[in-house]
Amino acid sequence: MKPKKLRLKNFGPFIEETIDFSKLTDVPLFLITGKTGAGKTTLFDGMTYALFGETSGRLRTGKEMRSLFATPEEETSVYFSFEHQGMSYEIERKPEQILAKRKGEGNRKQAAKITLTIFDDKGKEMRQLTKRNEVDQLIKELINLDAKQFSQIVLLPQGEFRHFLISSSSEKEIVLRNLFGTHYFQQLNEQLKEKAKLYQKKLDHLEQELTMLQKRFIPITEESAHKNENFDAILTCWQEEQATLQANILQEKTVLSDLQEQQKQMEDTYYRFQTLQTRQEEKRRLDKKKEELLQQEQVINEIKQWITHYEFAEKLMDSLTRKQEYQSEQEEWQVKEKECFKELAQQKKAYLEWEKLEPQRINTQQEMEQLADKLQEMKRLIPIAKEWQNKQIERNTLRSEKKKNEETKQNIVQEKRQVQEEQKKLLEKLADQESLHEDQMRFEKLRQEQEKYQEILVQSQQMNEQLNMCQHRLIAINKQHQKSQTLLSEQTQQVATLKSQWASQQIARLQLLLLPGEPCPVCGSLEHPKELRNHELPEKKQVIKLEEELAEAEARLEQINQKIGRNKAEETQIKQRINELSTSILEKQGEMERIKESLKCSLEKSFQFITADDPIVSLEEIQQNLATREELIAKSKVTYEQVTEHLTVIDDKLNSIEEQLAQNKEKLQQGQGELNSLKKQLGDKDIQNLVADVKQLEENVSMKAKWLAEEKEKAILLSQEIKLLQAQQENIHEQQMRNIQKLQLLQEKITQKLLEQTYFKQEDEVRSFAQQTDMYQHNRQAIASYEEERLIVEDRLTQLESFPLKETLPDLNKLKQELSELKNKITKQQENYYRLYEQERTNQKIIEEFSDIYQASQEQLDELIQLQQLSQTINGENPRKTSLERYVLQVYLQEVLQVANVRLQRLTKNRYQFELAEEIGSYRGKTGLEINVYDDEAGLTRGAHTLSGGESFIAALSLALALAEVIQTQTGGVSIEALFIDEGFGSLDEEALEMAIEALETIESEGRMIGIISHVRELKERIVQQIRIETEGSGQSKVRYHLG
């Protein structure tokens, strides 16, 4: 992917700026420079937002990147065009934003928008996408990176990779985990730990259940209870006790069976004699009862005869009751016949009275016809009278409207005068507009001076911060220098000691090898004291070891000297920087005082109303005053326009009222003529009385017609009623004759029944006897009870005669007591048996449950041990102190170091090479991902933290580029032809900066576009092509090109 053009509109500090990367293709290395906070990194944020919809650092959303200087009407958007695999792409994103409404007042919320246009290699548009999901999916497939990976590959942030180079394995692990997405190893480890905790919890729960079961087990004796034994031993002892308990149960069961058989035999004997005694007593009682029943037989026969008479009377009562009902009906028909005859006479009399009024009805009919003719004549004049009344109402309405319009006209004229007066006052307020413009121009100049003051104040504060940092750094360097001096003294003493020891060994070795008469190679003497012959020859291993220790001590001494030299150089630079910053701070403070005094003089001269002494507060007061005046003038303009429009409306209303008054006058004249014409047609008729007379005539005609209709209806009703009463009279006579016949037949039947018996002579006797219902029920119940008791006694005596009842009875009380004692003995035996049986059954359940839980706990324990071993291995609790995730990251890092070594060897002329440290650290945080550097000139491997500033920059740059290449390979081999470096060049000394620039120029030769984000002066001098971000004092930034 190669960038072509980036356009930022109302994005960050940029109002509308375009960065054309095609201008930088001749020399791909270019510099992005500008003041701190000017917006250098915002350019890269714009590219990232255009592609992925989020900024590079993910600290702010696109909506939050909207410029503070954008007007409410202007949109925020980012346009980015680039080339990829021979195709061209143009993408434009607009975040969700609040804009002013196009019409009217208020704001509107505009949703986020996106457009991606694709062109072929000839520049012809192929297609365009406008849906966010489609665009995001295409960008992901095209670049095969997400926003985070894109930022890591394309932008090298300040100091991050230099810190990564010397960081511990734990810190590297966090960075590499995010880059290569190995979070799932960490998640796996956490899951294993949680699972192990769960298994341990289950195991503890199972052991608690085993302990509870051990307490629930019922031993045979208290002495056999098992305590503090293992679960296997407990289970074996329980099974032995169960066997003993089962033998005891079988013995108890045999004893219980013998006792139960003895009980059965004794119960049979006892119940046989008890039954015999009961039957003998029952026979004696039944015999006595039989004699009593024979004595009651005569009384029972008399009661039966009484019941027979009652039942005859009850049957005859049905006929007597019907006879009484027929007699009642006959009396009712006689009453109805009398009432019908009386009603018929009254109706006939009313009909005769109606016939007498026939002449009156004829006379009323004639009067009604005469009134109807008169009514018709008067109705003809009604429409004319109504029209005259309507015209009268219309004339009155027109007069009211005329009066109302005249009043409205006077009100409108008065309102017009008031509006014209208000218009005159507004013109006086608008006259202040010119003086406001002049004050605003003067305020703008003062505000620019104030911004310049604020900018210098910020610079002064930044310089103070830098001064403090330099002073702190100087103190640290002094402490480090003192520490190095102390270490130097110690190492120098150690080197001198080692050299002395080494020289002594060499001298001793040479003295032992001297021959008589030959000169000494050390002192040249030909004489050799005899006592020196006694020295033993030093061992070769001791000499070699001492030489190695001496070499190592000298190397450490050299390193300390180099470090002291670097500290002194850095101390000199810092002191020089402190002097420069102190001088600059004094200059800035002087300039600030001059600007502040100038502001104060200008304020006193241009704005007399200021009350505050502080110029900043005064400017705010002026700005508030100008805003208030500007708001007042704007409101006055709007009000003036509204007043002008209102005057136009008032004039229109006035013209309309005058037209209406003219129309009213014309209509009044026309209406008066029509009233005169209608009055002639009516003549001398009173209009008000005419309507009343017509109404009175209508009522008279209606009343007479209604009376005639009622008379006719009355005649019809009377005739119908007479016919109905005559038919009813005939029906009543027929009903009486049928009822008489029924009475005669029923009376004959009753007489016959009385003749058939001799007990009752008259009907009244029957009625009286039949009323003894309670006595009848009592007698029937007595007979039934007597017969039932007689049958029971006779039947039971017959049954008892079949049993032998003459056998002699034993003493049943004694037999019963013996049986009770035997039952108590059996009950005790049963309780003992069932207690043992329940104990055995309960214990067996406990043993089975105990065995199942114990087996489950053993399986759970095996799984827990395996899980803990796996977790410890994955977590790095092993001899290598390396977790599974760190082992995987070692593979990735080794691959990164192999790629980085190619560039590092080329940049350092084959001096340095990265190596992954294999040593096991004192703890896991220092094991597995430590990076060493092999120095070919020194022939040894040392830690990456021992590199100098320039060397560490080159190493970090090589590592960053290699990491980017590996990530690209991992994500599908995407080619990113642009690189932005924000690596903090300001912290490098002159030599290190020179090495960094040479390294970047080497990378440039690979054909990659490289943008350096920095404000270092040396880079401005060395790099010809520059994109300069310049601020304008107000916070806005502009893009300027410097192409050399």
Q: What is the pLDDT of residues 739-774, one digit of tens each?
A: 888 888 888 888 888 788 788 788 788 788 888 888
**Type of residue numbered 732:** I
Q: What is the pTM of this model?
A: 0.40
**Position 962 confidence tier, pLDDT thresholds 50, 70, 90:** confident
Find the mean pLDDT for residues 299-303.
83
pLDDT at 91 (0 to 100)? 95
Whether residue 14 contacts residue 1027, with contact meaning beta carbons closer than 8 Å, is answered with: no
pLDDT in tens, 516-531: 666 665 565 656 554 4
pLDDT at 79 (0 to 100)? 95
* pLDDT over 50 (residue 593): yes
Output the DSSP codes for 50-101: HHHSS-SSSSS-TGGGB-TT--TTPPPEEEEEEEETTEEEEEEEE--EEEE-
Using DSSP, state whether 517 is helix, strand or coil: coil
Using DSSP, state whether 317 is helix, strand or coil: helix
pLDDT at 518 (0 to 100)? 63
Task: List the one residue out of 42, 27, 5 whose CA is nearest residue 1038.
Answer: 42
* pLDDT over 70 (residue 511): no
More confident residue, 865 or 133: 133
Output the DSSP codes for 434-462: HHHHHHHHHHHHHHHHHHHHHHHHHHHHH
Task: List the one residue out of 636, 685, 34 whose CA is nearest residue 379.
Answer: 685
pLDDT at 531 (0 to 100)? 42
pLDDT at 78 (0 to 100)? 94
Find the mean pLDDT for residues 287-306.
82
Beta bridge partners of 914: 933
pLDDT at 966 (0 to 100)? 81
Using DSSP, state whether 931 is helix, strand or coil: strand
Find the mean pLDDT for residues 790-795.
85
pLDDT at 118 (0 to 100)? 93
Find the mean pLDDT for residues 560-570.
72
More confident residue, 245 or 488: 245
pLDDT at 157 (0 to 100)? 62
Return phi, psi of residue 1033, to 5°: 90, -35
pLDDT at 526 (0 to 100)? 59
Chosen CATH of 217-293+793-861 out of 1.10.1060, 1.10.287, 1.20.120, 1.10.150 = 1.10.287
* pLDDT over 50 (residue 532): no
Which residues, at least 6 apart from 287, have a Cβ–Cβ distance to it below 8 Å? 797
pLDDT in tens, 226-281: 555 677 788 788 888 888 888 888 888 888 888 888 888 888 887 877 787 787 78
How far lies 292's CA from each of 220, 289, 322, in Å?
71, 5, 46
Is there a common fold for 394-431+619-682 and 433-608? Answer: yes
Looking at 116-125, 242-251, 356-365, 545-554, which range is the least confident one? 545-554
Q: Distance between CA atoms of 561 and 567, rounded to whole angstroms? A: 10
CATH architecture of 433-608: Orthogonal Bundle (1.10)
**Position 829 confidence tier, pLDDT thresholds 50, 70, 90:** confident
More confident residue, 740 or 535: 740
**Position 1003 confidence tier, pLDDT thresholds 50, 70, 90:** low
Find the mean pLDDT for residues 834-862.
84
Q: Distance between CA atoms of 12 and 15, rounded to whole angstroms? A: 8
Q: Distance between CA atoms of 727 and 707, rounded to whole angstroms? A: 31
Q: Distance between CA atoms of 156 and 253, rounded to whole angstroms? A: 94
Find the mean pLDDT for residues 1019-1037.
80
pLDDT in tens, 683-697: 666 666 767 777 787
Chosen CATH of 1-144+981-1044 out of 3.40.50.800, 3.30.1540.20, 3.40.50.300, 3.20.20.70 = 3.40.50.300
Q: What CATH code is assigned to 299-373+692-769?
A: 1.10.287
Looking at 425-434, 733-742, 1010-1019, which range is the least confident one? 425-434
Domain boundaries, the chain: 1-144+981-1044, 217-293+793-861, 299-373+692-769, 394-431+619-682, 433-608
How far lies 843's CA from each of 11, 219, 220, 247, 291, in Å?
83, 9, 11, 15, 70
**Position 992 confidence tier, pLDDT thresholds 50, 70, 90:** low
| Average pLDDT score, the chain | 78
**Position 286 confidence tier, pLDDT thresholds 50, 70, 90:** confident
- Give me the percent of the chain exceeding a pLDDT of 70: 82
More confident residue, 895 or 434: 895
pLDDT at 58 (0 to 100)? 57
Q: Distance between CA atoms of 750 and 313, rounded to whole angstroms? A: 11
* pLDDT over 90 (residue 162): no
Whether CATH 1.10.287 fits 394-431+619-682: yes
More confident residue, 453 or 609: 453
Q: Distance between CA atoms of 434 and 448, rounded to whole angstroms? A: 22
pLDDT at 534 (0 to 100)? 45
Using DSSP, state whether 14 is helix, strand or coil: strand
pLDDT at 535 (0 to 100)? 46
* pLDDT over 70 (residue 289): yes
Output the DSSP codes for 330-353: HHHHHHHHHHHHHHHHHHHHHHHH
Task: List the one residue out of 182, 17, 159, 149 whose CA is nearest residue 985.
Answer: 159
Return phi, psi of residue 940, to 5°: -145, 165
- Give me the percent of the chain exceeding a pLDDT of 90: 3
More confident residue, 610 or 195: 195
